[in-house]
Every structure is written in structure tokens, then in C-alpha cells.
A = this chain, B = another copy of it.
Amino acid sequence: MTGTTEFDVVAMGNALVDVIADVDEEFLDDMGLVKGSMTLVDADRAEELYTAMPPAIEISGGSAGNTIAGVASFGARAAYIGQVADDQLGKVFRHDIRAIGVAYDVVPAKGPSPTGRCLIAVTPDAQRTMNTYLGAGVDLGPEDVPDDLIRSAKVTYLEGYLWDPMRAKQAFRKAAQLAHEAGRKVSLTLSDSFCVERHRDDFLDLVAGHVDILFANEAEIHSLYQVKSFEEALKRVRGHCEVAALTRSEKGSVIVTKNGTDVIKAAPVPAVVDTTGAGDLYAAGFLFGYTRGLDVRRCGELASLAAAEVISHFGARPEIHLMSLL
């Protein structure tokens, strides 16, 4: 990395407010939902699902939003790019991300779409099933990516979900190019196995040529390379990126670099309440360590600690100052 930086990490993603409710297994069946998946829905389907949902809590979310909140909670310098509308949920999103210390200055969209939301149904096994209405998120475009901001951050972190709204991928590509031109690092999470299905060719191209630090879970990396074994996936990803951090739920994670492979244990959790945000906070811990110059094993350990904190309670952002874990 060259030059001084104003930020450790700038994250870009779909800005969403989570609407989280406890449901029973029957709810998933009745509504035709596939457990553990993230499905994109339109406004009508979102309304239908919301009407059927039990009482909920509203809490700021969005995958990259959760990650950058975690990065800030560790005490690193963090910024966020994502699009909300000029409405109450947009204000909630802006308040919460700023209140945790993240720089967030995207001007609210002027279009008719409301702030996006993610309806999250949490089953008794702590699994979350997500239905996302992108709303104003579809207005995110390259004009929302400030050149200076990207250049001034050690790492630009992008979520794969950005490949869903039409113009966000242009914003994504612009950010990745700016970062590399400035000698910075680009990080990507594959986000969701269905998201990988939708955009496999583009993601293969990104991972092979444009990403320095890759995050994926087992299902996502299998889907990317269309392989059945984790070992085969490891073989394929090695050499594509500087670092690939592959998460395996309670089995911990595996970090692949050109120098070798590190296996990291999952941190213990007294009781898993809601797995929403586990991958997001894993990335937060890892990127915090990475921007501090720690070795990848230590980065992975911080990642596991942050993930363990977030699955021990409802909601996808930390409830404690993560720097207290250090």
C-alpha cells in the first residue's frame, strides 16, 4: 500500500433496514420460503410477507453495512457507500451507521422507492431466511462513489449482492478500479450461494482478476467453482486471490494464501440466538486485523470472535464494543 490513508476500510453495499421476527418452521412452508437463503422480492411480495410475519423489530442491516459497523466497533476508521431514500427508515439507517462511528455521506435517493428492507424470519434453530426488497438501493450508481474516498482507504470492501441492482455493478467496478490504481486492496464477499448462481461468470472473472481478499462460505465457494468437495474448492481458489477466507459455520474457517492454508477454530458461543450477520462480522474482524498488519491467522481469530459475538443475540450488528474483545 502506498501513501497515507484516511480510512482503513470503505464498504459498499445495499443499504437495508432489517425487519426481524421469530417464526416457526410452518411459517417458512406456508410462505414457500427456502431456509437459509436470501431471495430478492418486489414491493408486493414484500408487503405480502410482512403482513404474514409476527411482530418484528427494525434494526439497521445490509451485509456490507453490518461489516463496516463491525470494523468501526473494533476502533478502525470506516466509511460506507450505499443508497437509502429520504424517509424514516432511511433516517434510521443513517443514524445507526453514523452513531457507531462510520463516515456515511451518500445523499438520499430522490426517486419514488422507499428505503430497502430485508425481512428476516428466524426459526427456532437460529437460522435466518431473508427476503430482500432493494427499494432505493437500485438507485446506487457510479456517481455515488467518490474517487477520493476510495483512494483514501486501505481496503475497499464490496458485497456480491451489489450485482443484483442494475447500476450498482458499475459503481462496484469503478470502486475496484480506483482502489487498485491507488495501490489499495479490493475485498469481496460472495454474499450468498444463490447470488453466486445468478452472477457466476462475472464473479469468476472478479475473483480471478480483481479481488485481493475474498470471503465466502462453503456453499458459496462450491457454487462459484461448481465443485462438490471443499478440498476441490480450496485447490481452485488458491492463487486467484492474495487471501481467501472461507467460513464453515461451527467448523470454523480456512484461510488460503499463496504461502499455505490456516485452519481457524470457531470461537465458542454459549447459545446461538440468531445467525444473521455471522459472515458479515467475520469479514469485519478479518479486515480489522488485516488493516492493522496482523498475520492471517490472527486476522482469522479476530474474525471468529466477532462472528461469535453477533450470533449470540438478535440482530446483525455488534451489541458490544468489539475492541473490548482485543
Contact = CB atoms under 8 A, between A and B. Distances in A.
Nearest to A18: B57
16 contacts: A22-B319, A53-B99, A54-B100, A55-B69, A55-B95, A55-B96, A55-B317, A56-B92, A56-B96, A57-B57, A58-B59, A87-B87, A87-B88, A88-B88, A88-B114, A314-B314
Given A22-B319, A319-B22, A54 B89 contact: no
Contacts of A53: 95, 99
Given A88-B87, A88-B114, A89-B88, A60 B55 contact: yes
A203 to B, nearest CB: 31
Nearest to A19: B92
A314 B274 CA distance: 15
B55 A58 contact: no
A51 interface: yes
A225 interface: no
Contacts of A56: 92, 95-96, 99
A50 interface: yes
Interface of A: 22, 50-51, 53-60, 69, 87-89, 92, 95-97, 99-100, 114-115, 314-315, 317, 319
Contacts of A314: 314
* Binding site secondary structure of chain A: mixed
Top 3 nearest A-B pairs (CB, nearest first) are: A58-B58, A55-B96, A88-B88
Contact of A95 (B51, B100, B114): B51
Contacts of A54: 99-100
B100 A55 contact: yes
Given A50-B95, A51-B95, A95-B50, A57 B88 contact: no
Contacts of A95: 50-51, 53, 55-56
Contacts of A100: 54-55
Given A50-B95, A88-B88, A114-B88, A57 B59 contact: yes
A53 B94 CA distance: 12
Contacts of A89: 88
A105 to B, nearest CB: 15
A89 B96 CA distance: 16
Contacts of A87: 87-88
